[in-house]
Amino acid sequence: MEPGRTIEEPKLTIDLVPRRFWRSSLARALPPVQWADCRAWAFDQADERCTVCGSVTGLQCDEVWSFEEWVEGPMRVLTGLRALCYPCHAVKHFGRTLHRGDADAAVKHLMRVNGWSRREVHVHISAAFAVFDQRNQVSWAGTDLTWLRDTLGIDATLS
Ligand SMILES: [Zn+2]
């Protein structure tokens, strides 16, 4: 590393959803009117811009999850909703993007947004898949949606 250069979190990262939760999302589970409220909330919070790159086109609502160790066992916890443009969202869900054959566009977007070389992107992809493999070994206790109830007043459960 160059002297004086600080370690920064990359702006955009790949977050692969463990297989166990592939069919379990708010977008699928909530009634359309409630999901529309979620989207509107996220877009409003972000001033109608992508929270990563600032783009104003093709906004989508991303569910932000953390994976935590609780007394009940390993838990998937909703920690927020945020506006992402389509290219940033495609990077987040890189596994699905790869499956669709759009990996190259996602790699280029990741290079541009983070200022990374292709090699740095490939190191990040390997790390993301290592985390994915680890999380697929876990026996998940469930999903916590307290944030959704507290923030938007929406009571929901996800299996
Ligand atoms: Zn973006």
**pLDDT tens-digit readout, 25-68:** 999 999 999 999 999 999 999 999 999 999 999 999 999 999 99
* Lookup result for tokens 């070994």: 137
Tell me, in angstroms, the distance from the centre of ligand 1 to residue 52's CA.
5
158 lies in some domain = no
Residue 89 lies in a domain: yes
Whether 14 is covered by a domain: the verdict is no
DSSP H stretches of helix in 8-143: 26-29, 32-45, 86-92, 94-100, 103-114, 118-136
**Mean per-residue pLDDT, 126-130:** 97
The 59-70 sheet, strands edge to edge: 59-70, 73-85, 142-144
Say if 82 falls within a structural domain.
Answer: yes
CA of 86 to the centre of ligand 1 (A): 7
- Please say if the pLDDT value at position 6 is more than 80: no
Structural domain for 132, as ranges:
19-149
Q: Which of 125, 127, 115 is nearest to 5 (CA)?
A: 115
| Ligand 1 mean position, distance from CA 15 (Å) | 15
* Number of domains the chain is built from: 1
Tell me the CA–centroid distance for residue 59 and ligand 1, in Å: 8
| Sign of the alpha-carbon torsion through 94, 96, 101, 105 | negative
Going from the Cα of 12 to the center of ligand 1, the distance in angstroms, rounded, reads 9
Whether 122 is covered by a domain: the verdict is yes
pLDDT band, residue 9 (cuts 50/70/90)? confident
Q: How far is the CA of 32 from the centre of ligand 1 (A)?
A: 24
Q: Is residue 70 part of a domain?
A: yes
- What percentage of the chain has pLDDT greater than the value 70? 96
Question: Which run of H or E residues covers position 73?
Answer: strand 73-85
